[in-house]
Structure 1
Amino acid sequence: MRRKALLLAALCAGVISPSAARAQQGPTGGTALSRFEPSPAGDAFFSVPSASASGHLVPRAVALFDYADRPLRLIRPEGEVALVSAQGFLRVDASLALLDRVLVSVDFPVAVLQRGDEPDIPGVTLAPPSGPALGDLRLGLRGRLFGEDRSPFQAALGGYLSVPTAPADSYTGEGAVRGHLHAAFGGTIASRIVYSASGGIVLRASEQPHAIAFGAGAAVLLWDERIQIGPELHGTFALSDVRIQAGPETAVTSASRTNAEVLLGAKIRPFKGLVFGVAGGPGLQDAIGTPTFRLLGMVGWAPPASPAKPSKSAGGDRDDDGFRDDIDACPDVKGELAGDPNKDGCPPDDRDGDRVVDLDDACPTEPGPPSPDGTKNGCPLDADDDGVADALDACPKVRGEKSPQSRKNGCPPDRDDDGVADVVDACPDKPGIQTSDPKQRGCPDDPDGDGVKWPNDACPNERGVADARPERNGCPRFVEQKGDELVVPFEIRFHPYGKRKSEAVEPVTDKMLAEIRDEIARHPEIELIEIQGHTDDSGHPRFNQHLSEERAQAVRKWLIDAGVPAEKLTTRGFGHEAPVGDNRIFDGRELNRRVVFKILKRR
């Protein structure tokens, strides 16, 4: 009898009571007994991953039944015990190809068939499995690095991540994540032979050892690639002894570290997409999880990597040009009669009729003059070399860009459509005028809308008024922004005592405060202004302090009533503590009686 089996070894000496022996359970921590890793849906082989990732947003899916005979056997002097005599998985596998380079996949196994024999061995608490059980969910990712689809050689890198979805202490999962990184190579030779080979490493977070994985397969393609038949080999080599904990002091140890299986498989595609397959073969080594033989059956929707190229036929006309494929010198390109069997059915030698033969014509479908520059020979003239022929170029002497609008085609970009190219437009998003001043070129002639137009506006970006003085023409009459201060040139006047606070400011200063309001509105980046009140040193200091605060608050009240947000204004009175003039003379005291607008915060 073939000794494809396992040896039972007691790791620690001790006496196990009969009651303990009868308290049977699954393997401690769980064991993913099956060493069969199906390749993603759409791959050529059952167990060997391909290097291809054909198509973009192309889904593929298969349902696969995997039956393993006696994958876990215990050898005793009294004879062999098949602890797991049969294990059958139903697997649902799906994949999605992206960008003709990347393949993502998922495999979900369910053990629908499990049975075995009671070991009846003292100290062994393992029980044979029974009933359905989930396996570990597997996620996959693969990227093709080299070679085109259906080429003789392709290379890819990929990996699987198995998530512990199987029940604890079962024969369908390890209770911990495991990863499988691999490189895959393969290709198609002469549309008749397909092959794949892979190698990698399996890394485990459980107590099971890491392993080296390998696989190879080759198959012949028949009946216009609808039938595929060929062998494949897959397996793993554990980097240390494989053990199943069978009890507190007992473990099952494999007689071999190598799992290896051979399959002979066949797939048939009755029509594009639908695929049926069967495979079977023996296990080759004495290792845990290696069955005496394995049988596979599958059905799925898996379009081939790419359609086979049509072959010439005596009665066909693929390009629909009136020439049968067997006499068409260019069967895939529509052509015409040339009077030469070597050219019949091919396009004419000079399709655009510019007297530059297509062989030398850099633009064979656009007429153009001959040129000593091979890259421009037979191409339309393009003086500015912007890719727009002069006949269609609205700016033939200025390098530009293509545009669906004929008046802009071949011209430099001009977003605001004012005739000034963006590259020299000082205001590229506002229609303006053409000027010699680079700072104003392409800008509106009256950007601040005050009625004083450029170049006569001395303050083109601040709304002002007309003034006979050129240096002040178009500038604000009263208000200027100097650093962090809004400067007013005249004293803000107040009514004598007895007026309400809302009426405290004299009308003579209304226009000045209105300009303060407008300046704040023109500059939304100003977030906080402190209105500071100051007096001369006439009177008692406490009276001066109170007076300066009242006047600052009166100005704030005026501005709020005029529309300035209250949160932008704060007040502070300084009394006579911050003079700017000499309080001993009249002019100095007049300078000290003032209101200052200090900008405290900007965005």
Structure 2
Amino acid sequence: MTLFLLLLAQAQAEGVDAHHFTPLPTLGAPLSLVETWRVTSQLPGSFSVSGTMDMSRGNALLVYEDWEGVVETPLLDDVLALNLSAGAALTPRLSVAVMGPLFLRSEGASGQQGAGLGDVRLAAPIGLVIPETTGLALGVVPGLDLPTGDSTQYAGAPGLGLSALVAAGYRAERLSVDLNVGAQRHPAAEATQSAEAIGGAALLLAGGASFAVSQSVGVAAEANLQRALGEGVVRPGEALLSARGLLGTGLTWTAGAGVGLGEAVGAPQWRLFGGVGYARVVDPASDRDLDGVVDDLDACVRKAEVKNGYNDADGCPDALAELDLTVLNDQGEPVVGASLSVDGVTLTTDAQGRLRVPPRAPDAALTTSLTAEGYSPLPIDRATLSEGPQAETLTLPWLPGTVRLIVKDAAGQPVPAVVTLTGPTPQTRQLGAEGREQLVLGAGDWQLLVSAPGKGAEVRQIKLDGVSTALTVVELTLTPPVVELQAKEVVITQAILFDLDAATLRPDAEPILRQVAGLLIQHPELTRVEIQGHTDDQGDAEYNLKLSQARVETVRAWLIASGVDPERLVAQGYGESKPIQPNTTEAGQAANRRVQFVILAQQPPEKKR
């Protein structure tokens, strides 16, 4: 036998864990290996406890010289230990494990020993890739060794130990192959004279294969090796053959044997082991989507539950409601700065009129109110929402009586006009350079007189009921003036045209009449204006007289509808009796077909104070 450790002058190598056998919890899986982690999935609530008796003969000798001469003795020999282990699944991918030996008897450099606890190991296997039936498996296993054993008796390390493993495997129908690669770190035992330090960092390698003899029995072969990093000694290795099985009552059994690989502390000449345990197992096949909800209770057996606090017990990937709101007014314009309060949080629309309600359970009622300056509040009351992303467009109502005034010129450019409002609360507004104003007016009839330097005045009539929340849009186009106030007449520079042989105004007559109405409203001192109608001499004179009268009556009605006081207007048709040019030419006839606005009475204009 090769001597492993040489210490001189009675030097002792205290601080060595010379046992190195840690059966892992099975969680009821017959294909589990003894000391090689196997990536599996178990439902929460699955657990196992077991006790495995272990008998081994040591392979490492302590060699030293005392007054009697050279002495050779095993560090730890004739071990009889009860290896306890327990494991529990917290989630389908995460479990916890605790393992540790209870030494019943052993012999070694310190003589025969009685019962004592060895180092306890804690681990938390995490499954990263778990095949449903066959395929590759991958996980990680962090571990922590607690120095609960007696290091002076070679039954434990002198301090905390850390380890980390990557566990990989392949699952076939009845065969499982697994490999662990990682590292561990234990405190190094103090070197004495020519002895090297024991402990420190080491690479770990373990692997094996298991075969299902039946649904409840599996056999396995595995080996594990260690290689020291930096200062240290040869680390132990061991090969194991084992069998494991399940009984119908939930009891489990394990039996096997092992031999050391090489001559190192913890590598036995031989080892025999066997044990029993109990496992409460929920078969992974009964939770095929690995979401923690058994298939009997899972409404979606192949779609995993999404844990989000909403219907987490039904086993379906229920999604929270994600509501995106777009807030517009009745003109299709985004309402910027509209706000609503949801669960105590105030949300505000952005430049596109959008806001997102934080994800919430679809069955959580959404009761709030959307508000914005210049708008009426819009109640929102949704008893439920749909699952997942959803978009909704809301139209925010205006305050009752909201009027938008837009003034442009013929080229479409804004005009900073003056607006005189006559109605329940008369007022005058000067528009800005953008040529628009938004007003909130009371209920009633309103007259809007719009004028600007170098432009003809325009007038509009609106009626507001004080209830409607729709926007009233008044859009005017101010053009160069075609109406001029002279001493005895309101002169128009363009003809007011009618349909042939009819008293119906042509569309191009209305812009002229709007300017006439605007001028008359601007000048209330014109108390009496005669609207004169004239024709050429074509046709019967009596017919022409009646036609001219009908036409000026149409003009008078149009002006009254535009806000001119009817008491100020007189309509008089003269037919062909007052030509201003000879009717001998077409040009003369066209000039004689005319409408005139003759001032019959006026008062001095009021002086501005």
Q: Which has the larger radius of gyration?
A: 2
Quick check: which one's strand share is greater? Answer: 2
TM-score, with structure 1 as normaliser: 0.44
> TM-score when scaled to structure 2?
0.44
